[in-house]
Amino acid sequence: MKKDIENRGDLDLMLSAFYEKALKDDLIRHFFLSVVPLDLHHHLPLITDFWESVLLNKGGYRKNVMEVHLDINQKSSIEPEHLARWVSLFTGTVDGLFEGPRALLAKQRAQSIATMMGIKIAQKNALQL
């Protein structure tokens, strides 16, 4: 039996494993490598803050995650298949490492975030027509 997500170290492990997959994925890697080149040493602590606030009720994340991704969408369109792949890689990573209530919550929140992001992107695109 795998353990549940319990602390920041678990989130670091999960997110490092996720980005290792995402940076190799043919469908979404260009967002991280070309559109907004990702400095993992800078990005991982920030995204860990985000997931720590979502899963462990810690309050360290201060950015608007939707605005960040709407800006990325302006540079290179984020399509539903990109969001679906992100969710698939994320949930697969969680499943490979953890199980339990927080692991389930992480997967549910990832799906919710992708759904909301898709809605916000579609709304913004419709306003620009």
pTM summary value: 0.93
| Residues 33-69: tens digit of each pLDDT | 999 999 999 999 999 999 999 999 887 777 788 888 8
Other residues' Cβ atoms within 10 Å of the Cβ of residue 45:
14
| Residues 92-114: tens digit of each pLDDT | 999 999 999 999 999 999 999 99
Number of domain units in the chain: 1
Structure tokens at 100: 């339990």
Of the candidates 100, 127, 114, the one whose C-alpha atom is nearest the C-alpha of residue 3 is 100
Q: Which amino acid is at 67?
A: E
On average, the pLDDT of the chain sits at 93
Coil, helix or strand for 86?
helix
Structure tokens at 113: 């975030």
* Residue 107 located in a structural domain: yes
H runs (alpha helix) in 7-79? 8-22, 29-30, 40-56, 65-75
> Residue 68 is part of a domain; what is its CATH number?
1.10.490.10
* Residue 2 located in a structural domain: no
Coil, helix or strand for 39?
coil
* Residue 62 located in a structural domain: yes
* Residue 60 located in a structural domain: yes
Structure tokens at 13: 């492990």
Structure tokens at 38: 């990702």
Per DSSP, 7 falls in state: S
Task: Give me the domain span that covers residue 45.
Answer: 8-127
